[in-house]
Amino acid sequence: MSKQRIAIDMDEVIAEFSTKHVAMFNKKFNENVTVADLHGKKLRELRPELGREIHELLLTPDFFRDLPPIEHSQEVIEELSRSYEIFIATAAMEVPTSFTAKYEWLKEHFDFLDEMNFVFCGDKSIIRADFLIDDNTRHFQGFQGQGILFTANHNRNETGYVRVNDWLEVRDYFKGRAQ
């Protein structure tokens, strides 16, 4: 019998993205925005007049290379990999300059995963998995499995989804589910 598959997003799910993005924004625009200010919204929604410039902060080839892993993500994913087939599914097409940095980051922090299970895509509905853990609900549209919303500041107002707040809750969610 084959293992069930879990697809896992990268930014704001296994890689702490917002702290660096906000810090770069503050430095460039002499602002004092905090990650807490993003409650229920993304940075570009907080300052829509700077949307293009905010996105451009991500275009440096190494932006994604030094993000810290989200607490407990490594050990929980390693545990899950014993019972499930794990894929990392990142919408890298949104920032094509991120491919190398994201690949190197995954090899450094999740070296126990098969690199052939790193999926760099745009539309995640192409992913054939039983579960998708993501911080962005738009990726659940068209996804055939169970979407699991990983809490991030920007999605705190989203309702109607299975939600996990951290990796310890992910562990609890999957405990005893593996076939």
Query: How far is residue 97's CA from residue 95's CA, in Å, rounded to a whole number?
Result: 5
Element (H, E) at 55: helix 51-56
Q: Catalytic residue at 11? A: yes
Nearest to 9 by CA among 110, 142, 168, 136: 136
Query: How far is residue 62's CA from residue 17's CA, in Å, rounded to a whole number?
Result: 13
Q: Which is the catalytic residue, given 9, 62, 66, 123?
A: 9
- Give the CA dihedral 110, 5, 141, 20, nearest 10 degrees: -10
Q: Which is the catalytic residue, given 11, 62, 66, 123?
A: 11
Residue whose structure tokens are 């200010």? 37
Q: Catalytic residue at 9? A: yes
Q: Which three-class secondary structure string do you get for 78-110?
A: HHHCCCCEEEEEECHHHCHHHHHHHHHHHHHHC
> C-alpha angle 100/106/1, rounded to 5°?
125
Residues 6 or more apart in contact with residue 42 via CB below 8 angstroms: 154
Catalytic residues, by residue number, are 9, 11
